[in-house]
Each structure stands twice: as structure tokens, then as C-alpha cells.
């Protein structure tokens, strides 16, 4: 086995995910001989240099990817097409281009047409994160025992997909493969819809009369606090996720709306058995998460 999985790993974007990949790669060892980080904002560039989790910090995306045998996009998915136009002419033949975005259909749509000859695309999605963002938010243990879903493109190189899978395994993750359409439906229900609901509930609270809103904030119980945790997530990232997984999200929202109306009818008409069934099903799902160490 080679000493390093990759000679030069370039991370485009060094927020929570990108900076955690860099930190974990440093901590685990054997992943990349050189870690290159790209970000455009001068203040972020300076902070990444201070934190020291990358060997090179580059403001120009084209220069950042030159000579890299692995490039991972860690920016909001809505920025992918623009980033790809900047880096495509500089990607080296044999390079593997991957990402960490929460949608996969849009990633393939935006990246594949601009992919240079000799460069392999292997989309991936680490199912890990917190509500925090920026280079200070990252930590090496973020991916430990968390799933990463790889969505190989039709006709792609299986060896390239396996190298990306091995990268995530070395970062501590469990790797699964699925097609992009299935991925987008799965994450719509387990991630995107819960965030949409959280943003909506917080918006509802904010729209209440002033005196009621203050009481909500003062006496918020754990349920509301849990919603506000994910509602504090990054604005740009979640705007792009909602817009780029529109069809799957709207499908799951429609199903949720029907189910919530059914539960509302049960509450209205005192259907205790129906209410108890929904609560038991919720408890069963929660137990399943705990048993799988995903809670």
C-alpha cells in the first residue's frame, strides 16, 4: 500500500465540513501528503492560516487545484457550477473530483457537463454536521461512526469510487453506495424536511405578538430548543439545499402534510388510539437510531 492515499488533497471551501476533513486527515495520517485549502474571503484565509490545519492556503481556486489528485468541493451546492467553471481548466488528468454536498442529482447535473477528459467524478455526502459553520467549527472526530453515501455516476471508474470510499473510511466513516435519485429522496425525509419544519416553527414563533414571543423565548422547553438548534444552521447552505432538492423535498413535505392533518383530526375528534399509535411509532424510530448509534 502507498504511504498516502493521495499525494495532494485540495479542499474547495473550509467551513465545518472542509475544515473537519483537513483536521481528520491530519489526525489520522496516511490520507494526503499535502493538504491544500481554498477560500476566497481574506479574513477566512487569514484564519485558516492561523489554525494551521492545511499545508497550503490558496485564494485562487484554479491555482489551488493544480496538481491535486483529489479535489473535494465543500461549498454550498448552489455554487458548484460557478466553482467548476473556474477550476475545470486546471484539473489534472487522473484527478478525482468529489464533494460533500447534501444533494446529489443537482451535483451530477452541474458538474458532469464541465468535467475535463481524464478526470473522474465521484459524488459523496457525509451524513454528519452541526449547526455551526466556518473554519473554527470543524473538528477531527466529526465523521467518526457516521455514514457517508457515495453516488457513483453511470460509466464512472469503480477504482476512483473505491479510493473516495477508502478516504472516508480512513476518516472514521461507514460508507454506503446508492444512486443519486434514491439518495435525494432519503435525505429529503431524514434531513431536509426536518430543517424545513424547524425553520417554519421558529418563523411561526417569531410572527407571534410581541408579548407572546418573549414568553416563548423565556420558557422554551427542550422540544422547542431542539428545533432552534437546527434552525440556526447556515443560511446559504440550506437555501441551496432546498432549491436543489426541490422535487424530493416537496414530495416528502406533501406526505408529511397529509400525516400531520390526520394527526390534527385525531386530536380534534379525541381519537386516542390514533394518537397513541403515532407516539409509539415515533418512540420506535428513536430507539432504532439509538441502537444504530446514530442518535
- Per-residue pLDDT of 167-195, as tens digits, reads 999 999 999 999 999 999 999 999 999 99
- Domain assignment of residue 202, yes or no: yes
Q: Are strands 147-150 and 124-126 parallel, antiparallel or unpaired?
A: antiparallel
- Domain assignment of residue 19, yes or no: yes
Q: Are 190 and 252 in contact, with CB atoms under 8 Å apart?
A: no
pLDDT value for 47: 95
187 and 166 in a common domain: no
216 and 154 in a common domain: no
428545533: which residue's cell? 227
Diameter over CA atoms, the chain: 67
pLDDT value for 295: 66
Cell of 292: 444504530
Domain that holds residue 275: 182-291
121 and 97 in a common domain: yes
Residue 96, H or E segment: strand 96-99
Cell of 251: 414530495
189 and 173 in a common domain: no
- Domain assignment of residue 198, yes or no: yes
| Domain end residue (candidates: 160, 178, 196) | 178
189 and 174 in a common domain: no
CATH no. for residue 205? Answer: 1.10.3660.10
Give the mean pLDDT of 253-271. Answer: 96
- Domain assignment of residue 74, yes or no: yes
Q: In whole angstroms, what is the distance from residue 228 CA to residue 217 CA? A: 10
First to last CA, the chain: 35
Q: Residue 88 has what DSSP assignment? A: G
Strands in 124-126's sheet, in edge-to-edge order, are: 124-126, 147-150, 174-177
| Domain end residue (candidates: 127, 156, 178) | 178
For 219-238, write each residue's pLDDT tens digit: 776 778 777 888 888 899 99
CATH no. for residue 119? Answer: 3.40.50.720
CA distances from 179 to 105, 149, 154 (A): 9, 9, 9
Band (1; pLDDT cuts 50, 70, 90) = very low
Give the mean pLDDT of 71-85. Answer: 96
221 and 126 in a common domain: no
174 and 186 in a common domain: no
- Domain assignment of residue 285, yes or no: yes
Residue 286 has pLDDT above 90, yes or no: no
Higher pLDDT, 213 or 282: 282
Question: In 10 A of CB 286, how many CB atoms?
Answer: 11
| Domain end residue (candidates: 178, 205, 239) | 178
- Domain assignment of residue 66, yes or no: yes
Among 165, 169, 148, 147, which residue's Cα sits nearest to residue 156?
Answer: 165
Mean pLDDT (the chain, rounded): 92
Number of domains in the chain: 2
Residue 23 has pLDDT above 90, yes or no: yes
- Domain assignment of residue 1, yes or no: no
Q: Residue 92 has what DSSP assignment? A: P
Any idea which of 58-72, 108-122, 281-295 has the lowest mean pLDDT?
281-295
Q: In whole angstroms, what is the distance from residue 200 CA to residue 15 CA? A: 25
Percent of the chain with pLDDT over 70: 98
274 and 238 in a common domain: yes
pLDDT value for 2: 61
Residue 162 has pLDDT above 90, yes or no: yes
Of 96-105, 198-207, 283-292, the range with the highest mean pLDDT is: 96-105
196 and 171 in a common domain: no
pLDDT value for 230: 82
Q: At 218, is the secondary structure helix, strand, or coil?
A: helix
CA dihedral 87, 89, 94, 97 (to 10 degrees): 20
Q: In whole angstroms, what is the distance from residue 146 CA to residue 139 CA? A: 14
Phi-psi domain of 293 (left: phi exceeds 0; alpha: psi -120 through 50; beta: other):
left
Higher pLDDT, 2 or 194: 194
Cross-strand bridge partners of residue 175: 148
pLDDT value for 148: 97
253 and 109 in a common domain: no
Please tell me the pTM assigned to this model.
0.89
128 and 271 in a common domain: no
144 and 22 in a common domain: yes
Residue 166 has pLDDT above 70, yes or no: yes
- Domain assignment of residue 154, yes or no: yes
Amino acid at each position: 500500500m502507498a504511504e498516502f492515499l493521495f499525494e495532494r488533497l485540495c479542499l474547495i471551501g473550509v467551513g465545518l465540513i472542509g475544515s473537519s476533513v483537513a483536521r481528520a486527515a491530519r489526525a489520522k495520517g496516511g490520507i494526503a501528503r499535502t493538504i491544500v485549502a481554498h477560500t476566497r474571503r481574506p479574513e477566512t484565509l487569514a484564519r485558516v492560516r492561523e489554525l494551521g490545519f492545511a499545508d497550503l492556503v490558496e485564494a485562487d481556486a484554479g491555482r489551488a487545484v493544480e496538481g491535486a489528485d483529489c479535489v473535494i468541493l465543500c461549498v454550498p451546492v448552489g455554487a458548484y457550477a460557478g466553482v467548476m467553471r473556474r477550476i475545470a481548466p486546471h484539473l489534472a488528468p487522473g484527478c478525482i473530483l468529489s464533494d460533500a454536498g447534501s444533494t446529489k442529482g443537482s451535483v451530477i447535473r452541474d458538474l458532469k457537463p464541465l468535467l475535463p477528459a481524464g478526470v473522474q467524478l465521484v459524488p459523496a455526502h457525509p451524513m454528519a454536521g452541526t449547526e455551526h459553520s466556518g473554519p473554527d467549527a470543524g473538528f477531527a472526530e466529526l465523521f467518526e461512526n457516521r455514514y457517508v453515501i457515495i453516488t457513483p455516476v453511470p460509466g464512472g471508474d469503480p477504482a476512483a469510487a473505491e479510493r473516495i470510499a477508502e478516504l472516508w473510511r480512513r476518516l472514521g466513516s461507514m460508507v454506503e453506495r446508492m444512486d443519486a435519485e434514491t439518495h435525494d429522496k432519503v435525505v429529503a425525509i431524514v434531513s431536509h424536511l426536518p430543517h424545513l419544519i424547524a425553520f417554519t416553527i421558529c418563523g411561526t414563533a417569531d410572527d407571534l405578538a410581541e408579548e407572546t414571543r418573549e414568553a416563548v423565548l423565556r420558557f422554551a422547553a427542550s422540544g422547542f430548543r431542539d428545533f432552534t438548534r437546527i434552525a440556526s444552521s447556515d443560511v446559504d447552505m440550506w437555501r441551496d439545499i432546498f432549491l436543489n432538492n426541490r422535487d424530493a423535498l416537496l414530495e416528502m413535505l406533501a406526505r408529511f402534510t397529509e400525516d400531520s392533518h390526520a394527526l390534527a383530526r385525531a386530536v380534534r375528534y379525541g381519537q386516542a388510539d390514533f394518537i397513541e399509535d403515532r407516539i409509539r411509532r415515533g418512540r420506535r424510530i428513536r430507539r432504532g437510531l439509538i441502537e444504530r448509534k446514530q442518535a
